[in-house]
Each structure stands twice: as C-alpha cells, then as structure tokens.
Amino acid sequence: MTLQMTLSSPFLLSSCSSAHRLNPLLFSKRRHCPIKFSHFPFPLLTKLRFLTVAAAATENGVFTSPENAKSFDFSSEERIYNWWESQGFFKPTFDRGSDPFVVSMPPPNVTGSLHMGHAMFVTLEDIMVRYNRMKGRPTLWLPGTDHAGIATQLVVEKMLASEGIKRTDLSRDEFTKRVWEWKEKYGGTITNQIKRLGASCDWTRERFTLDEQLSQSVIEAFIKLHEKGLIYQGSYLVNWSPNLQTAVSDLEVEYSEEPGTLYHIKYRVAGQSDFLTVATTRPETLFGDVAIAVNPKDDRYSKFIGKMAIVPMTYGRHVPIIADRHVDKDFGTGVLKISPGHDHNDYYLARKLGLPILNVMNKDGTLNEVAGLYCGLDRFEARKKLWSELEETGLAIKKEPHNLRVPRSQRGGEIIEPLVSKQWFVTMEPLAEKALRAVEKGELTIMPERFEKIYNHWLSNIKDWCISRQLWWGHRIPVWYIVGKNCEEDYIVARNADEALEKAHEKYGKNVEIYQDPDVLDTWFSSALWPFSTLGWPDASAEDFKKFYPTTMLETGHDILFFWVARMVMMGIEFTGTVPFSYVYLHGLIRDSQGRKMSKTLGNVIDPLDTIKEFGTDALRFTISLGTAGQDLNLSTERLTANKAFTNKLWNAGKFVLQNMPSQTDVSAWEAIKNCKFDEEESVLRLPLPECWVVSELHVLIDMVTASYDKFFFGDVGREIYDFFWSDFADWYIEASKARLYQSGADSACSEAQAVLLYVFKNVLKLLHPFMPFVTEELWQALPGPKEALIVSPWPQTSLPRFPNSIKKFENFQALTRAIRNARAEYSVEPAKRISASIVASEEVMQYISNEKEVLALLSRLDLQNIHFADSPPGDANQSVHLVASEGLEAYLPLADMVNISVEAERLSKRLSKMQVEYDGLVARLNSQKFVEKAPEDVVRGVREKAAEAEEKIKLTKNRLAFLKSSILVSQ
C-alpha cells in the first residue's frame, strides 16, 4: 500500500519561498557554510578578492561593499546622491540619443515641508526619468518651487506678528523685502528634502516662479491675453478670505462637514396675514435678499408666486416671490431666500433672472451700511444678535441642528465668504476649446483614461478665471491707472513702469501721473506657464526651449487636474501653438492602513523623513510605487517592513555573489566567465538546466518589465521584478548554484554558475534601479567588471534568447523538489537528515532530472548515493511515501528513512482520538435543535465549516495511520 501525495494535498505546506522569511542556508553569517551532506562533501572556499571594485568611488568613501557591511546602511544614501550630482549624471546628454525625455516637476510651495504626496510624485517621476536615462534618451527633469502667494504671505505675517509687527505697519517694498529674506533663509528646505528622496533632477536648472525670467514670462502672457481681449476687469462674486482680504481660487477652498444650525424665519407676505417660513443657515445675509423663491410645482406655495414678501428687520423692504424649478421642495421648508451677493448658486440665478445684487459685507467680514443697525458687527456676532432680535419680534420660529458643508480657506482655515469684488478675469471658453481638441485628436494622453471624462466635463462647463489676488507677495499685475480717471475704463497694460508712463504720455499728455494696480496675479497663473516659462519662453530661440519643448510627461495628483493641468494645456497651446506635454500621469492619494485620508486631526500622518530613517528611502519608494495610476494607496508599516526586508535580501544576495567570484588573480577563471555569452542562443542552450532556466526567465522578465515601463505600469514592473528576484533567483537559483560552487572539480560548471550569478544579478539591479536607486547603485559599485555608474549604465537588451522547453523542464524539477520538501515537512523529518529516494519518470524526463542529481540532492536534502532513477516503481513501494510531482514524474521515499514508524503510528493514534472528540462535540452542537434555531446564522455556519474541516482531517489521518500500520505488518 502507498500513500499518494499530490501537489494539491492539504498536507503539502510549501517550504520554497516566503516573501517575509530569509533562508538561513542562503545567507549565513559565516563566509561559506556549506551544508554537510553525508555523501556530498563541499570544501570551504578561501577568502576571495574581487576583480575591480569601483576604484574611484570606493577609495573616496562613497560606497560600501556587502563584504564590509552586514546590511545596507541608509546613512550612505546622501553620500551616494551627492556623488551622482557631483558627477553631472542628472544633466541631460545627447551622447546616446536625440529624442529627449522631459519632465517638469510640479513646483512645491516654497513654504512647504515634505509630506507623502511629495514622496509619491518624486518617486514616480524619478522612476520615469531614471528608466529613460538608462534607455539612452537625453533626460531632463526640471525642478523648481512655487512662490505660493497666500501661503508664503501668511507665514511671513505670522513671523512678523511674533516680533510685534503687522504687515500694514510696513510699506509694500519693506514687506516684500522681508519675504525675500525669509525665502533665502528657509526656501531651500523643501528642495533639500526632495533630494533626500533620490530625485535625480538637473538642479543646475532649478527655477522659482518669481525668478526674473519667469516673471517676464508672466507679464508677457498677461499682455498677450489682454491684447486678444481675453483678459477683462469687473465686479463679480468670488471666494473671499476676510482675514487675508483677498480673493482665493476654488482650489484653495476646502469643504468640511461640520455641525451647524438651520434657522427658520418668518417672511410676511405683503398685504396679507400669511407668511412664508424660510430655513437658512446664514440669517445675517437676509439684508442682501433680493427675492424669495419656491418650486413652481410645490402646491403649498403656488398661490404666493408673483406677490411680494417683506424681509425681516429691514424696515419693510419688499422682495418678489418667484418660481424656480431648481428650488428643492424637500430641503428645509421648500422656501429659498435669494442673496446673490453671498451665495454662488443665488448669484448665478440672479444673473439669469436679472435680479439686483446686494452686498452686505465689508472685506474684513463685518456687515456694511446695507445691514442698517447691524453695520460694523462681525458676521458671526451679527448672526447671534439678529436671531435674538428675531425671537423678540416673533419672527423667529425655531432653530435646529444641521450638518453644514462649510467652505474653509486651505491656507488659514477661516470660513470663506462669497463676496462681490472687482477683479481681473480670463475668458476661458476659447482657450478650453483648443484644450478639448488636443485630447480628441490624440495629441494629449491622460492616464488613467477615465480622467478624460472629468477633464472634458470641466472644460466643457468652464467658468471665467479670477486671476487677481489682493496680496503683496507675487507677480504684480502689469496694469497702471491714470490718476483722476476711471480705473475700469482708463488703464495702461505694459511690461514695466517706464513703458507704462510712455504709453500714458502718448495717450493722455505729458502731465499725467500713473500708479500700478496693487493686486498680484493668482499663483496658478504663473504655474500655468511652468512647462515653457522654465525653458526660456517667450524667447523661442532659447537653447533649452528649442531642445526640450514640448516636454514629454506631466505627472501630478488627480486632484489638480483642473486647476493646474488643464490650465497648462490651455496656456501652452495659446502661447506656443503646441500641447506642452504628450502625457499626463495622475497618481492617487496616499492613505493610512485603514484607507483614511491622512490628517493631523486623526493623528495618522506618516512623515516621509521619519520613514526614511527607519526603513530607508528605497523601501519607501518601492512601497508607494506599487499602486495603480489614479488609485489611492494605503500605506502601512507592514508593507514598509516587508520592503525593508526586500532591501536586505538584495544586499545578502549581493554578498553571496561577491563571495563566490574567483580570486582577482585567477585569470583563467575570469576568462571562462567572460566567455559565457548570454546573447547567443547556442551558448544559452548549452548551459545546464538550472542556468538555462534562470537566464531564460530573466530574458522573459526583461521584455515584460521594459514593456510595462513603456506603458507606465509601474506597479506591474515592481511586482514582476520582486517575484523573479525573490522566488526564482534568490530562493531557487542561488540555492541550486551551491551544487556547482561548493563541489570539487567540474570547473566549467562552476564558471558557468559564477557567470550566471553575476549576469542575472547585474541585470536585476539594472531593472530595479529606477525604483530603488541607492541600494542598487551601492551593490553595482561592489560588483566586479568594468565600472560605470549604474544610473547611466545602458538598459538591458530585449529579445534575448529564452527557451520555453527549459523553463518547463525546470518547473517539473521544482515540482519534484517541492513535493519532497513538503513530504519531509509533513513527516517532521529533521533538516539535517538525508533520505533515500526513487525517482520514476519517462526516459526524456529521467534524462534531465538525473543530470541534475546533485542539485536535487542539495535542494531536497536527499542522500546523493541513494537516489535511484527508474521507469517503474521500486520493490519497496508499498513501504514508501508516493509523491506525484507532475505528469510522468513521481517519487518514492522509503518511510523508514523518514520516521520511526511505530512511534509515529502511536502519535497519530493519540492525535486521532483527540480529533474525534473535538469532531463529536461539533456534531453534537449541530444536532441540537435549540442551537441551530437560536444561534446567529454566522455562528451556526462557522460550526458547520469547522465540523467539515475536522471530518476531512480525521479521514486523512486515518489513511496515514492505516498506511503506517500496513508498513509495520510488512516489515514484520
């Protein structure tokens, strides 16, 4: 009788590869610690020296070899980075190609400090840049920072406040001087932190949005848009920051769900005793009411349409009661007050219907004279006072808790006030049409593709862009007014004050005086010019503009698709006639392990710099690069820990490779390694099976990875390399290579193994370098061979020889090894114990399996002298464990070699009795009608599943016990 174990058996617990466990046999603390097989003596290797070890780099202390360090030292990352930069590797060169790959870095705020969003974009862009650099393309990653008007002004105002100084205590020039001083002192913080992430930018081309040349670009853009009639001035409703006293963009307004109050107020119908009840969250804006609206299909109020209502607390001011289908009958009372000066929806409704617009608010958030007796009160104080007086006069009905969607300033946190204000605007519709066509015609590709719909929807429904800000820090609007004349009708647009004065003299006479508009331009205006202003525009003859524009890739978060990406597309087409980049790659947000957005309130913010200190830059980069474009990524300590282990695995693999290279003086050994040609089919096919397999798999991997890189499928790239390196190379080939490296004689086999180890490992480092630049460069510099920095080494060649038949053969070999390993684990065979085996296979399979007898013995811990190959089962098959590895490949392991049969039978008998008791208890619960009827459904289902599992285990244990008992009888 034989016990058959197939690869689907529940007893087979894979011992092959574990992504979270290092093989102790693979990476020993001792130099060479061969496994002592009873019939397989391996001599210890002498201490090795290496052919070439990055002479210049190592001598100056930049790099550390795995020979000299137990693990990769994260503190060396900055040394490596400084070496790359000092060697000029970040600068584009046209030595190997002429088609440049150009990325403009999304300029972080100069006030910024590194967060995971920065880590995401830096990692993804650096992957693209390093890959294309290795592919031989002239590669430019152009970095820079944004002057961040509001954010920077806030920071400096707080700094001045700590000195007891208000901004208004200083002149504009004095204040901006202080801001520049702050920028010079602290503005490089974010840049240095981005470098810490490994960003291989050309820092010699670093730009700042207030640089002189970029400022000229901004002025030129304003003038050109104005000349075409696309810039105009007018009073419209904008988002207003009362604290900063400036308009803010939509992007700088964040909406948060907050507890608030819904106030129910009586509006009497003029000339009648009836009244309408209005439910509002902002009663203080009633002074700006110009109408009361109801849904025309709301039967409760249809009789009042066309009549007048009296606005409370306004001394009898009348407003019309109108019908509008957009009024929600189910919200509040179904009656809507229209305050177009303080609500965006009301504003557009009023403009559509031709209603007047009343503003009741000053720019500092206090009520103005329109509010009568409430004039001068803060908006929130006015709300309290007004409600109190409404209660006194009987016009207050009730107030109730209500969750509000509150607009808050992204910068200062204060509640934003919709306010009518005179501003400068850009007419967007004609610009948007061209940007829409660019995607339609395939001139611009947005990834992931689903964001095209969002892009198209926004551009198809675009509103004019408010570009003026009431700040002192930023690009001053290039408009000058004539003293004594109407500002909206008489103004001069010019490049500078001298040109403005000259134009004013020509138009208004020599005696006129002029003054510049005090406002600055929205920060996004200068950012919209970023891809070409940084390259020299408006000078189309600038060398960088001619070489590198249009750029190739724009990578950024999907949350600024409208506010930045779309505007760059519009401005690029408008000013250069060309889409500014060919591709837009949009990444998602990084969330915590529970999928929550990171916030200081939740206390779940992960600091990239702290993460780097604990896990290393490479582990952080690898972790956040495995997501999918446009998808949010959950970041956890577990993932970081696993990828730190991956860094260690690479390091230890490098140590193994280095320790098993020939001595530097062994010229013949190095000649043999050099003669191994892996780009020739005949040479690869002549390799022994494990070597041919791993080289074939590597060549398949190179093609897969290169294709995924070209498609920007970075998550696929990372996973494919990880799986190959850990499972195929480290867990299988490095183990198999020991059969060549640790045996006496067979020098050719040893040389082949050394050549394959070096070849595969070098190519893995190349493929992985864009993701994990530091550890791969450190290892590369330690490897023997002609020395060239990994960052600028050529990308691996594609379409190299691979042999599917050899891959299939080795997969059979792996299946056999796994089956034997699993059988050993099931029978608790001691790791050091060598067992016999009979391998039964067809003649073809037998040939390639028997050729790798030593490897099989090493990986399966078999007694080399007692491995037998045959085409039929052995005579003692009924006393052996029978394994079916694959079709046409079986193994018989003598049971007596693995266990003490009598002791094992006794152990299983006791185990079976215990299992039976547990099973009987589960069955008894299920037979209890009371339990089945009253217990929760999921509890009953769980008991049924446990019973079924226990029954299966009992059956398998009985089979094993029967097999053991039959073996005892046979032996007797």
- Short-list 478, 276, 555, 479, CA closest to 397: 276
pLDDT at 12: 30
Rounded to a whole number, what is the largest CA-CA distance in the chain? 127
Mean pLDDT, to the nearest integer, of 696-720?
A: 97
pLDDT surpasses 60 at 154: yes
Confidence of residue 57 (pLDDT cuts 50, 70, 90): low
Mean pLDDT, to the nearest integer, of 300-321?
A: 94
Q: Decide if 374 contacts 366 (C-beta within 8 A).
A: no
Q: Decide if 276 contacts 321 (C-beta within 8 A).
A: yes
The amino acid present at 438, given as its one-letter code, is A
Q: Decide if 692 contacts 816 (C-beta within 8 A).
A: no
Q: Decide if 857 contacts 863 (C-beta within 8 A).
A: yes
Q: Taking the CA atoms of the chain, what radius of gyration do you get in angstroms?
A: 38
pLDDT at 29: 32
Q: How many Cβ atoms are within 10 Å of 132's Cβ, its own excluded? A: 26
Q: Tens digit of pLDDT for each residue in 130-141?
A: 999 999 999 999
What gap in Å lies between CA 955 and CA 946, rounded to an integer? 14
What gap in Å lies between CA 833 and CA 633, rounded to an integer? 46
Mind giving me the DSSP string for 751-815? HHHHHHHHHHHHHHHHHHTTTSHHHHHHHHHHSSSS---GGGSPPPPSS----HHHHHHHHHHHH
Q: Decide if 341 contacts 375 (C-beta within 8 A).
A: no
pLDDT surpasses 90 at 47: no
Confidence of residue 860 (pLDDT cuts 50, 70, 90): very high
Mean pLDDT, to the nearest integer, of 612-637?
A: 91
Confidence of residue 152 (pLDDT cuts 50, 70, 90): very high
The amino acid present at 118, given as its one-letter code, is H
Q: Which long-range contacts (CB under 8 A, 24 or more apart) does 13-18 make?
A: 13/822, 13/825, 13/826, 14/818, 14/821, 14/822, 15/818, 15/821, 15/822, 15/825, 16/727, 16/731, 16/732, 16/814, 16/817, 16/818, 16/821, 17/726, 17/727, 17/730, 17/731, 17/732
Q: Decide if 445 contacts 251 (C-beta within 8 A).
A: no
- Residue 111 CA, distance from chain mean position: 22
pLDDT at 603: 77
Q: What residues does 247 pair with on adjacent strands? A: 240
What gap in Å lies between CA 925 and CA 919, rounded to an integer? 10
Q: How many Cβ atoms are within 10 Å of 24's Cβ, its own excluded? A: 10
Which positions ≥6 away from 289 have C-beta within 8 Å?
Answer: 311, 319, 337, 338, 339, 358
- Short-list 700, 704, 697, CA closest to 718: 704
The amino acid present at 157, given as its one-letter code, is E
Match 């963009």 to its residue by tokens: 249
What gap in Å lies between CA 553 and CA 586, rounded to an integer? 11
pLDDT surpasses 90 at 591: no
pLDDT at 601: 64
Percentage of the chain lying above the pLDDT 70 cut:
92
Mean pLDDT, to the nearest integer, of 448-470?
A: 93
Mean pLDDT, to the nearest integer, of 532-547?
A: 96
Mind giving me the DSSP string for 65-132? -TTT-SS--GGGHHHHHHHHHHTTTTS---SS-SS-EEEE----BTT----HHHHHHHHHHHHHHHHH
Q: How many Cβ atoms are within 10 Å of 54's Cβ, its own excluded? A: 22
Residue 958, class by beta-carbon neighbours within 10 Å (0-12 exposed, 13-18 middle, 19+ buried)? middle
Average pLDDT, the chain: 89
Tell me the H-state helices in 246-300.
none
pLDDT surpasses 80 at 568: yes
* 889-894 vs 835-841, strand pairing mode: antiparallel
Confidence of residue 493 (pLDDT cuts 50, 70, 90): very high
What gap in Å lies between CA 813 and CA 889, rounded to an integer? 9
Confidence of residue 761 (pLDDT cuts 50, 70, 90): very high
pLDDT surpasses 80 at 20: no
Question: Is 354 in a helix, a strand, or coil?
Answer: coil
Question: Is 34 in a helix, a strand, or coil?
Answer: coil
Mean pLDDT is lowest, of 204-218, 478-492, 577-591, for 478-492
Q: Tens digit of pLDDT for each residue in 876-909?
A: 777 788 899 988 899 999 887 877 677 777 777 8
What gap in Å lies between CA 553 and CA 584, rounded to an integer? 6
Mean pLDDT, to the nearest integer, of 736-762?
A: 88
